[in-house]
Structure 1
Amino acid sequence: MSVSRSYPPVPLLAVSVLVTTGTKALLIQRSKPPYQGAWSLPGGLVDVGEPLKHAAERELQEETSLALTMPDQPVEVFDSIQHDDEGKVLTHYVLCVFRASSSERKVCAADDAKDAKWMSADELDALYCTPGTPERIRRFL
């Protein structure tokens, strides 16, 4: 059974991965709603029966070609809620953020990522990012 991402009856569980190398973080540009065109951490929905850490590893590889092992637990859990013009809940995600580091500099955007790049915290100010992404990156870099 598939749950609608727009006006969902329950919050949707998702993962994000903050991958760093030196003073740069890996971001992807979203090619689909929500936040189409925005820069974000790689991630996506958790499949039924899939452990969080495996979902984070899968989404990272699908969107950037990086194959990394995640820690057992996320470093942060937060809500991402969007309301429509009438105040109804349009989207509601519960996001579990995992952190990893990589020495691999080559990334390749794939799946629902339009682009993937390593960026410094200073570069984030000029970008359209998903809510909270620049602050999250600065906090962990």
Structure 2
Amino acid sequence: MTERCYPAHPFVGVGAVVVREEKLLLVRRSKPPALGLWSLPGGAQETGETLTRAIEREVYEECGITIAAGPPIAVLDSIYTDSSGRIQYHYVLIDFWADYRWGDLRPADDAAAADWVPLAAIASYPLTGGLKELLGDWGLLHGVPSGPPDKTLYRTIGGQAL
């Protein structure tokens, strides 16, 4: 496996926005660069794997549930530097709207925890950089939207690595 810390090139990662019964699926990260923070479930795309297959696999592996990937709703540059300014982590993240299909939530070893978080409580969670703003842009901090957003957002997130 290629080293993700101080990479020679960016890694492609995928994330899922899964809303069920006015709750959002979130995971607490068990690895840097966002160790201990709550985020969307997801992970790295594998060689030869489509983006939608990657997000469906990652959510199943990380959370034990089956989803159906919908449209992409955000493209993010996630870049973290160390104290000397070197690129420590660089991911290109693509977040997808996704529908819950079945399964019982049970986090795997790459997630310290997983939970269906009530939309009204999300703002009180320690979230990864930029996630609260994205959730606000998608309308998820003010109730359940009727479906995926009508446009894909582009952002740069990151900062100094934790």
Normalization by structure 2: what TM-score?
0.78
Partner of 1:135: 133
Deviations 1:66-99 (A, max 9, x none): 111212x412111111011111111110001011
| Farther off after superposition, 120-129 or 102-111 | 102-111
SS at match of 1:137: helix
Q: Which residue of structure 2 lines up, in the alignment, with residue 91 of structure 1?
A: 89
Alignment coverage as a number of residue pairs = 139
Distance 1:132 1:121, change over 3 A: farther
**Paired position in structure 2 for 1:55:** 54
The one of 84, 90, 107 aligned to 1:109: 107
Percent of aligned pairs with the same amino acid = 38
Where does residue 122 of structure 2 map in the other structure?
Answer: 124
Aligned to 2:22: 23
Provide the secondary structure at the position in 2 that maps to 1:75.
Answer: strand
Distance in 1 separating the partners of 2:90 and 2:129: 13
- Map 1:70-85 to 2 at 5 A: 70-71=69-70, 73-85=71-83
The 8 Å contact of residues 43 and 60 in structure 1, kept in 2 or not, is answered as yes
Q: Is the 8 A contact 2:69 2:99 kept in 1?
A: no
Distance of 2:82 and 2:106 partners within structure 1: 34
Corresponding position of 1:14: 13
The CA RMSD over aligned residues, in Å, is: 1.8
The structure whose residues are more often strand, as a share, is 2
Q: Which amino acid aligns with 2:4?
A: R
Please give the alpha-carbon distance, in whole angstroms, between the structure 2 residues aligned to 1:3 and 1:61.
23
Give the TM-score, by structure 1 length: 0.89
Which position in structure 2 is the counterpart of 1:69? Answer: 68
